[in-house]
Amino acid sequence: MNMDELKRQAAAKALEHVQGGMKLGLGTGSTAKHFVDLLGERVKGGLKIIGVPTSEATRIQAEACGVPLTTLDEIDHLDLTVDGADEADPDLNLIKGGGGALLREKIVAAASDRMIVIADDSKWVPKLGRFPLPIEVIPFGLGATRRAIESVFAQCGLTGEMVVRPGKDGHAFVTDGGHWILDAKLGTITDAPRLGTLLGAIPGVVEHGLFIGLANTIVLAGSDGIRVVE
């Protein structure tokens, strides 16, 4: 079975948790895209839900699928967010941001009563850190921000190469919020909650891709079936 089919199966499993009347956070990435497609089919069949997209890409896709949308200014909470991840560990901590949407993804996840992560089982790791950690930064003062980040890495016993994520035409990738992303190749992160707290305190860091304590359920699709971790 190919990877895309596994992603679709994970998305279909998460859809079982959606009920009429729910306010949903809609994730970003190739796995979340399947969820929005499948949700759109259910909406066309009469399911009444409303969604908050985590990126402009998801907003455009959801609109095209006929999924009604709102914002976190218009509603006070979400019942459920369904999103992908770049890595998930047994504590249900995540690395996200491979698609560059980590800031809105974290705002939406934090506003949700529940978060279901959908992924193929290659995303499951004993410890986070194989996937480069995305850190969303303000372009102003980048040198100072980088040095502060490196100092935090050293405090956490981590070293690693950090690069500005490239976008089109040799320029930096620009997020939906107008920021840049540093991708840090760290290797095993022994204390992800501490690293997240320290990174979050750096001026110039808008957000980082460590999602600590936000996910409630991970749906992993593999060639031997679907595994649900809670």
Is 151 assigned to a binding site? Answer: no
Q: How far is the CB of 57 from ligand 5RP (least distance, A)?
A: 9
Q: Which residues contribute to the site for ligand 5RP (CB under 6 A)?
A: 27-32, 83-86, 96-102, 105
Amino acid sitting at position 47: L
Verify whether residue 230 is a known catalytic residue: no
3-class DSSP assignment, residue 197: helix
Task: Confirm whether residue 28 is marked as ligand binding.
Answer: yes
Question: What does the buried/exposed string (b/e) look like for 65-99 if buried means 16 or more CB atoms within 10 Å of the residue's CB?
Answer: bebeeeebeeeeebbbbbbbbbbbbeebbbbbbbb
Catalytic-labelled residue, pool 87, 105, 136, 207: 105
Nearer to ligand 5RP, 39 or 85 (CB): 85
Q: 56 and 25 in contact (C-beta within 8 Å)?
A: no
- For residues 58 and 28, is the Cβ–Cβ distance under 8 A? yes
Angle formed by the axes of helices 192-200 and 142-155, nearest 10°: 150
Nearer to ligand 5RP, 58 or 148 (CB): 58
Q: How far is the CB of 3 from ligand 5RP (least distance, A)?
A: 9
201 is in an annotated binding site: no
Angstrom distance (rounded) from CA 217 to CA 230: 5
Q: For ligand 5RP, which is the closer residue by CB, 96 or 146?
A: 96
Q: Min. distance of Cβ 55 from ligand 5RP in angstroms?
A: 7
- Residue 96 annotated in ligand binding: yes
Which C-beta is closer to ligand 5RP: that of 26 or that of 149? 26
How many angstroms separate the Cα of 46 from the Cα of each of 16, 37, 38, 79, 205? 15, 15, 13, 19, 42
225 is an annotated ligand-binding site residue? no
Binding-site positions: 28-31, 83-86, 96-99, 123
Which residues are known to be catalytic? 105
Binding-site positions for substrate: 28-31, 83-86, 96-99, 123
